[in-house]
Each structure stands twice: as C-alpha cells, then as structure tokens.
Structure 1
Amino acid sequence: MFVPFYDANRLRHIRFQYVTVGLIAVNGLVYLFAQASGEAGAILSAFEISYGFIPAVVNGFAELPPPYVAVPPWLNFLTYSFLHLDIWHVAGNMLFLWVFGDNVEDAFGHLRFLLFYLACAAAGAALHALVFPGSEATLIGASGAVSGVAAAYLMLHPRVWVWVLAFGRIPLNLPAWLLLMVWIAIQFALLASGAEDVSYAAHAGGIVTGAALTLVLRRRGVPLFDRQIRTPRAVELADAGEERL
C-alpha cells in the first residue's frame, strides 16, 4: 500500500550507516547467487531450501533429505532472512531497511544494531514456527528483521515525515507514526485473519521483538518518541543555520 523511499532524518551519533549498507549488500549478493544456482522453472533453488526456514524441520516433524542439509536447523533461524523469492521481494525489504535502518543504527550503535537485526529475524522465524508448527513450506525473506527495524523507528522518531509512494505511484509526505502504525495494524490484522500468502507471523514476531529491544539497546540519552518534528524543509533550515555558524 505504502512504499517509503526517503526520510529527512539526519544521523547524530555515527558518520555512516555501515551495518545497514552492509546488510543491503549481503542480501543483494545472496539473491544473485541463489538465482544463479537455481534451475529453470523451479520456485526455490536447492540453496534456498537448504538455508531457508522450514517449521516442520526445526520442530522435529520432518527431516531434510541429506543433500539439502547444509547447516544445523538452529542456524536457519538467521540464514532464511538473507534469501528472497524474486527481485520485488528483495527490493521491497531493502528499501524499508534503507529508509529506516540508518537512524535505528544511529540510535543503537553499529554492533548493537547488527545484533538487533538478527534477533528480530530469529524472533520472526520463531513465531512463524509457533503458528505453523507442521508446515513444510520454506520461509525466506528479511521481512521479520525489517519489521523490527520499522517498530524501532516508530518508537524513536514517530514525528519524522517520510516520503512514500501510495499504491506504488502517488508520492505523499506522511508522519512516520501514521505510516508505521497503519502498516503494523495491517500486519496484525492479516495475521488474525489467517492469511497464508505471506508470513504475517514473522512480521509480528519482528515487530514485537523490535519494540522490546529498542527499550534496552538504544544509546544512553537517546529518547523514546522523539518530540522534534522533522520535515525536509526543517532539515534544510537547520543545515543552513549550522553552515552560518
């Protein structure tokens, strides 16, 4: 419904969002490798089956054939999040990470942000396995981790204005609290409805974990629910003021 593509929210504590950019690069490279290793007409490659997350396997209800076993099942709680089904899948997740990840990384610090991202990915997989314990379908995608990032951004910078494409074509400038609260509400509504086309359980797991970890992982002195309103024009004026000083 809404695709974010820009927020006027400067970094305060770090010079560059190395972890955010690194995660985007790794996801992109893994996607290209998985596509190159796939067979024509196959929905998932052997690589994606080996490193994706299958609830029935991690819950002990099924076993992967030996040729597909590449890592211990517990590691699939993380590896699945670096795999994507198609270019739109990876692009959508990475765009969310690009827009919101830098400021969350800024608030947490590089290492804590990386641990936060991986924890949200693992929590998304865990809730998916709890909701669909016997599923033999392979879960892939960074949505659980990115959902945690979105929840953290909401708790840190709800008043920042974000440029989005509504319905993929209409540019709108919306406050983050409105954009993200609507998006989060939709995820939980679809989870409650039993929709199975997307793992909304993974989204929900990431959201809850992201919100909880934000309380303890943010830097000392970083406030919750920042009251300063940042529009693109406000940032331009602030930059101009700093230059004059």
Structure 2
Amino acid sequence: MPPIPRGSATNALVILNVLVWLVGIVTGWTEPMQIEGGFWAARLHDSLYGHSSALPVDYPWVVPVWLTPVTSAFLHAGLFHLAMNMLVLVVIGRIVEMALGWERFLLLYSAGIIAAAGVHYAIDPVSMVPVVGASGAISALMAAYFLLFSRRKPPAIGPIPQLAVHMAWLMAAWVGINLLSQLAFAGTALGIAIWAHIGGFAAGLLLAVPLVRSHQIRRPRHDIP
C-alpha cells in the first residue's frame, strides 16, 4: 500500500476537532457544548415557522441555529466517537485532498456538513435529539473516495452511463449499511444519525467528479474519469 499523502487541510480539521473535544473535557463543558452547539432539527423548525425555541431555557449561550450545522460537526459524543471519525478523516481525507486540492476539499467537506443537516431535518424536522459529529462531512469524503478510486466499477446499463450506475450502486450500498447499523443498535443508548450520513454521502457523490475535473484543468495530474 502506498504511503498516505500529506494533507494540510485534513490535518487542520483533525487538529481542530481534537482541540474542541479537549476544551470540553478540560473545562467540563462537554454536555453544554453539545446542547448549545449541536444541530437540533426542532430548533431549526421553530425558527423557520416562528415558534419559541425548542432548546431548554437554562442554556443561555446558544449558538445561532443557522450556524449549528457547522458547530455540530466539530463536537463529538465521546472519545470513541472522536477517534473513529478522525481515523477515517486522516486516511480518506488526505487521499481526497490530494485529488481535489485543499480548496475543493474544504468545499466538499462543507457541502457534506450542510447536506447532512439538511437531510436529517427533512426526515425528522421536529427531532429533539441534538446531532453532533463530523460523520456527515466525512461521509461526503468517503463517497468521493469510493467514486474516484474504486478499481472495479460497474458497466453502463443500456442508455444509463457507467458513472450514473456507479453512483447509484454506491448510494444503495451506503443506505443499506446505515439502515443495518440503525437496526443493530436499536434499543441501545448509542444513537446514529443515519440520515445525516446519507445526506453527506449524497453530496459527495454529486460533487466529487465536477470538483476533481475542475482541479485537473488547473493541475492535470490525476488519472480519474
């Protein structure tokens, strides 16, 4: 296996996520940070429809609801949650950053954040459970990685081009994996925001090829269709 390339933007994201987690541990603010900075679908719903906030009133330092998709992506439920996300981010993120360049890499990461929150809200707009974690953004990177670097790709089906077939297979597999994960952890204290994962993955599939092609125009060095 070739060495994992360096990635300045990937490294910066990992450092920022770890620093935020450390601040919560050192100060004892982990739970308040998750409540005040997590993404609550119900808060967004209330804001859109002019209702009073769904957030408990005894948390005064509340992040504005429109910023919570971003702040929630840098908060984690525990050390295991953080470690798993950062491991995937380091391995997958550096390779995707190499293919896209750091500017487009950050654009893809940001799109994953927004898409994850958007799909989670669309599925359950009155959810009173705050969503935290970088999984939605990382799902976008994973989609880009699988789409751009898969060695075995399905053929075209009639008039449907090979790229569209490949995207459909990847999306179906990702939805299936997440539904099975939800089933496996049903009834436990571990909550998985599967629709956030699915939203981020969809954003990665849609943006990966346009982003890598625009990067190739500037720096033609990647043999990616």
Provide the TM-score with structure 1 as the length reference.
0.70
**Cα distance in 1 for residues equivalent to 2:203 and 2:3:** 23
Structure 1 residue aligned with 2:155: none
Once the two structures are superposed, the pairs formed by residues 48-197 of structure 1 within 5 Å of their partners are 48-60=34-46, 63=53, 64=55, 65=57, 67-159=59-151, 185-190=176-181, 197=191
Match of 1:4 in 2: none
Contact 1:123-1:205 at 8 Å conserved across structures: yes
Percent identity reads 34
Aligned to 2:25: 35
Q: 1:155 to 1:143 in 2, by over 3 A?
A: same
Considering fraction of residues, name the structure with more strand: 1
The number of aligned residues is 194
Which secondary structure does the structure 1 equivalent of 2:73 belong to?
helix
Cα distance change, pair 180–19 in 1 and its aligned pair in 2 (3 A): farther
Letter in 2 for 1:119: A
Gaps of 5+ in 2: 153-169
TM-score normalised over the length of structure 2 = 0.75
Call closer, same or farther: CA 1:62–1:192 in 2, change over 3 Å. farther
Partner of 2:197: 203
* SS of the residue 1:45 aligns to: helix
Shift of 1:217: 1.1
Describe the shift of the 1:8–1:182 C-alpha distance in structure 2 as closer, same or farther (beyond 3 A): farther
Superposition CA RMSD, Å: 3.0
**CA gap 1:93/1:129 in 2 versus in 1, 3 angstroms:** same
Residue 75 of structure 1, CA deviation: 0.7
Between the aligned partners of 1:70 and 1:122, the Cα distance in structure 2 is 19
User: What SS does the corresponding residue of 1:126 show, helix, strand or coil?
Assistant: helix
